[in-house]
Structure 1
Amino acid sequence: MSVSSVKNEIQQLGRRWHKLIFLCNRNYQFDSNIPITDSFEKINVNLVLSEELIHISQKNYPLHVEDILQNVIIDTNQTYLLQHIDILFDPVLQVHPVRLLENISKNYKLIVEWPGKYEDGRLVYAEYGHPEYFTCNEFEGKVFLK
C-alpha cells in the first residue's frame, strides 16, 4: 500500500457518498501500524459494543448496534479509525458488518482495519464453515492492501 495513495484517498473521503476505506492485509494478521501520519480518532469497536451491549437484552442487540456506534462517532470533521471490529461478525448481533459501516460512512469518514482478507474482489472474514464466516463482494468504499 502506498502511503501517498492512501493519504490521497483519505483527503478525498469528504467528497464521496460513502466515506469508507478498508485496510486489508494480504495475510490474515493485521498489523495496526498504519503508515499514515495524519491523526485519527481510534475506536476499538469490540470494546465499545461489549461495554454497552452488556446492559441490553440479547434479543434486542440488532436494534442497538448502530446506535451504540453512532454515540461514539459524532464529529463529521473527524476521520475515525475503526479497529478490532471482530464483534460485528458475531451471529448473535444479526448485523451485516459491511452494510452497517456503509450506512455510518454516509455521514462520517471511516477507515476500517479489516480483520480478514480481500481476495477476488471480496472482503472475507473467517474460514468457510466457521459460524462467523462472512464474505461480501458488493460494497462501497475503497480497499487498500498492505
Structure 2
Amino acid sequence: MNINNFKTEIQEMEHWWHKLIFLCDRNGQFNTTIPITDQFEKVNTNFILSQGLINIAKNKYPLYVEDIILDTISNKNKVYLLQHIDILFDPTLQIHPIRLLENISKTYKLVVEWPGRYEDNQLFYAEYGHPEYFSCREFEGKVILK
C-alpha cells in the first residue's frame, strides 16, 4: 500500500457519502503500517462488543451491536481504525457486518482492517462451509490492498 495514496484517500473521504475504507492484506496476515496520528483512533471491535454484550440476552444482541460501537465512536473529526472485527461475523449477533459498517460510515470515518480476502470485487470472510462464512459483492466504500 502506498502511504501517500492512503493519505489522499483519507482526505477525500470527507466528501464521500459512505466514509469507509476496507484494508485487505493480500497475504491474509495483518500488521498495520498506517502511521497512527492524532487523526486516527484504534478500535478493538472484538473487545468493545464482548464487553458491551456481556449482560445482554443473546436474542437481544442485534438490537445493541450498533449502539455499543457508537458509544466508542463519537468524534466526526477522527478516523476510526476498526481492528479485530471477527466478532461481527458471529451468527449469534444476527447482523450483516457490511451493512452495519456502511450505516456507521454515513456519519463517521472508518478504516476497517478486513480479516478476510478480496477477490473478484467481492469481500470474503472464512471459508465456504464454515459457520461464520460471509461474502459480499455489493458494498459501499473503497478497498485498498496491502
What interval of TM-score do these two structures reach, taking the shorter chain for normalisation?
A: over 0.9
Alignment of 1:122-133 (within 5 A): 122-133=122-133
Tell me the distance in 1 between the aligned counterparts of 2:9 and 2:32.
18
1:24 maps onto 2:28 in alignment = no
Q: What amino acid maps onto 2:19 in structure 1?
A: K
Tell me the distance in 1 between the aligned counterparts of 2:57 and 2:43.
24
Query: Which residue matches 2:46?
Result: 46
Alignment of 1:86-125 (within 5 A): 86-125=86-125
Query: Which residue matches 1:137?
Result: 137
Query: Which residue matches 2:6?
Result: 6
Task: Give the gaps of 5 or more residues in structure 2.
Answer: none
Tell me the distance in 1 between the aligned counterparts of 2:3 and 2:20.
17
Q: Which 4+ residue blocks in structure 1 deviate beyond 2 angstroms?
A: 36-39
Give the aligned CA root-mean-square deviation in angstroms: 1.0
Task: Give the gaps of 5 or more residues in structure 1.
Answer: none
Where 1:17 maps in the other structure, the secondary structure is coil
Tell me the distance in 2 between the aligned counterparts of 1:74 and 1:101.
14
Cα offsets for 1:67-108 (capped at 9, x unmatched): 000111001111100000000000000010000000000000
Paired residues in the alignment total 145
Cα offsets for 1:109-138 (capped at 9, x unmatched): 000000001011001000000000000010
Tell me the distance in 2 between the aligned counterparts of 1:38 and 1:72.
18
Tell me the distance in 2 between the aligned counterparts of 1:114 and 1:43.
13
Q: 1:37 to 1:83 in 2, by over 3 A?
A: closer
Superposition deviation, residue 27 in structure 1: 1.8
Where 1:81 maps in the other structure, the secondary structure is strand
1:80 maps onto 2:77 in alignment = no
Tell me the distance in 1 between the aligned counterparts of 2:90 and 2:33.
26
TM-score (norm: length of structure 1): 0.96
